[in-house]
Structure 1
Amino acid sequence: MNETYYSLKKVAAMFGGQHLKEDITRLEQSGEIGAQVKFRSGALYRKGFSSNDISKIGEKLGFFKTFNSPTSLCVFTTKGGVLKSTLALNLARTAALHGLKTCVVGLDIQGDVTTALGFDDGLEDSADLNYILEKLNRTKGLSDIFNNSIRLNEAIVPTDLENLFLIPETPELVALNDSLSNINRREFWLKEKVIDPLKQHFDLVIMDCSPNWNKLTTNALVACDALISPLECKINNFRNFKVFSKFLEEFKQEMRLDFESIFVPTRYSLNRKLSQDILSWYRENVDGCIDGAIREGVSGEEATALNKSFIEHCPGKPASNEIIEVLSEVHRRIEESISRRTPEAASWQYSRNQANPQESSWR
């Protein structure tokens, strides 16, 4: 895989704006981050930071800091095509670029987040069927953990970012969803066997759910500290939301859950009055709706197609600036929720050093 380099201007834009250039230069001069190197860009040579240095810069200067305790997020809504997996992708990559050790758990049989993170890259273009079959057979997932055929760490695979890992979706998720009906405490299997153990080694665990409310989704909601739910600024999602919110509230009461519900408006259009009206309605009437929003646009679609976050693909552009606003607000809401539910978490410090013996086997 070719190394990616980022100019000083791009790095500053990725983490909040050009006012950070002076701080980044100071870190470089003090040796706290690696020095810029020359790299070839087309016919020209430029200077930039390697991808390995980016997370160090993000950790020191960025907007998405490590939480006071390990945190699990569930990304879910009952409608497809609303940027759910795009939101999960941006959460995961942005967190990893800020130095948070992050694991994504794929729970959607369609495998959108697994594809978005680049795990399936090259399969369709390969002319070698044997290679494809071998890779698919080597891929282990949650069903293998459920059947006790592998340990949890054997299902975790690395990505192109050193802080980002994945438990990929596999076709056996369908069978796993059915099998959960046959065990005691069926709603708690994911929490007890997967998410809680992951939180001993990761700063952030993100579960990307199917748009169908199935048993795996129920497990993810039970296991999460916060729900991140996209609200598409279109009439079909607007009509769907009232039913979804009613079911969600009843579920939380029945299961006695107190996870934070954070709603993110998506796919709004500057050129459609109805879209703007729906966005305003969400902000005024939906408890937990953030002020930020993700617009409909080519830049965001390109980023997802390239398996990148918005801040990596188009730093400084409207799509990137908006995702910074969105993720900053989501981060603040999660932090407030953690402090409110567990006051002692404010003094809790997560020690990566204690996790180091496990880390090498998960790379």
Structure 2
Amino acid sequence: MAGEKNRIITIANQKGGVGKTTTAINLATALAAIGERVLIVDLDPQGNASTGLGIERKERRYSSYDVLVGSHRIEDAVLHTAVPNLSIVPSTLDLLGLEMEISQHADRVFRLKKALQADDAQEYTYILIDCPPSFNLLTMNAMAAAHSVLVPLQCEFFALEGLSQLLETINQVRHSVNPTLDIQGIVLTMFDSRNNLAQQVVSDVRTHLGEKVYSTLIPRNVRVSEAPSYGKPAILYDLKCAGSQAYLQLASEVIQRERQRRAA
């Protein structure tokens, strides 16, 4: 595990379309806005976190793929974003072939962990890892490297069913490769206060998981949805919109939980 100089948080959900990458981008931006030095590691071959932060594909000379195959260090792949204090290790479609390339290597699950133990990764106070919407070698690398997992959960009918599968996956990782892996928290996304089902999902998740669920609800918000097409986090695109304000609140909760953890 990387030293206590930084906190490595994997943002994961095996289901797509839950606001995972949106959460990674905007939480990272909010943390950077309050003075934290933040790095996003984009482990999704689609590269949406990279695109959403305005990183053109032609700029991605080196990527998380190069880091995982061991041909380059983290510092070689890091690109600065338009957000002060926020950098990213971008992804490329090369990641699609990673499993075939390193599946026979004994350290295949620990490639990212080793990379993040390097001195050049210690300058960041928070490292957020954006995972693909599946449980594969990329997600295993992310969970093996992380101190904790942050789970975005869409306010929809099958939310709890998908969550139980993810919690079981986290338990498996804890028993096999990372015994100290914790759940940083569960953030409810795409919340529509006019929808009775969404209200019921919030109630059910809080009943089942209690304090693990953040107080902040991320609302459905047009401005948040528009922002990636402009290569900007919502917080830069429209700071005053409800979605941006919610992510700022979420960042405060994340930091508060980290303070409580250190004090314990």
TM-score, length of structure 2 as denominator length: 0.88
Residues 151-174 of structure 1 show CA distances to partners (whole Å, capped at 9, x for unaligned) of 432211111123221111011112
Q: Does 1:211 align with 2:133?
A: yes
Q: Does 1:167 align with 2:167?
A: no
- In 2 relative to 1, CA 174–332 (structure 1 residues): closer, same or farther, beyond 3 Å? same
Q: Does 1:248 align with 2:248?
A: no
Contact 1:269 1:296 in 2 (8 A): yes
Residues 115-148 of structure 1 show CA distances to partners (whole Å, capped at 9, x for unaligned) of 111102xx7xxxxxxxxxxx36x62113323445
- In 2 relative to 1, CA 201–269 (structure 1 residues): closer, same or farther, beyond 3 Å? same
Of 60, 68, 89, 2:25 maps to: 89
Q: Does 1:283 align with 2:201?
A: no
Contact 2:52 2:233 in 1 (8 A): no
Contact 1:73 1:227 in 2 (8 A): yes
Percent identity between matched residues is 26
- In 2 relative to 1, CA 114–299 (structure 1 residues): closer, same or farther, beyond 3 Å? same
Cα-Cα RMSD = 2.2
Residue in 2 aligned with 1:52? none
Of 192, 208, 213, 1:269 maps to: 192
Residues 207-247 of structure 1 show CA distances to partners (whole Å, capped at 9, x for unaligned) of 10001111111111111122111011001333322222222
Q: Distance in 2 between the 1:168 and 1:103 partners?
A: 10
Residue in 1 aligned with 2:229? 305
Secondary structure of the residue that 2:153 maps to in structure 1? Answer: strand
Residues 301-331 of structure 1 show CA distances to partners (whole Å, capped at 9, x for unaligned) of 1334333334433334432332222221122
Query: Which AA in structure 1 matches 2:196?
Result: K
Q: Does 1:321 align with 2:257?
A: no
Residue in 2 aligned with 1:336? 260
Contact 1:106 1:114 in 2 (8 A): yes
Higher radius of gyration, 1 or 2: 1
Contact 2:19 2:152 in 1 (8 A): yes
Q: Distance in 1 between the 2:30 and 2:118 partners?
A: 22
Q: Does 1:99 align with 2:35?
A: yes
- In 2 relative to 1, CA 270–159 (structure 1 residues): closer, same or farther, beyond 3 Å? same
Query: Which AA in structure 1 matches 2:62?
Result: K
Q: CA deviation at 1:284?
A: 1.8
* Alignment gaps of 5+ in structure 1: 1-67, 124-134, 341-363
Q: Distance in 1 between the 2:250 and 2:159 partners?
A: 19
Residue in 1 aligned with 2:5? 69
Question: Which residues of 2 match residues 1-363 of structure 1 at below 5 A?
Answer: 69-120=5-56, 135=58, 139-194=61-116, 196-261=118-183, 262-286=185-209, 288-340=212-264
TM-score, length of structure 1 as denominator length: 0.66
Q: Distance in 2 between the 1:238 and 1:335 partners?
A: 28
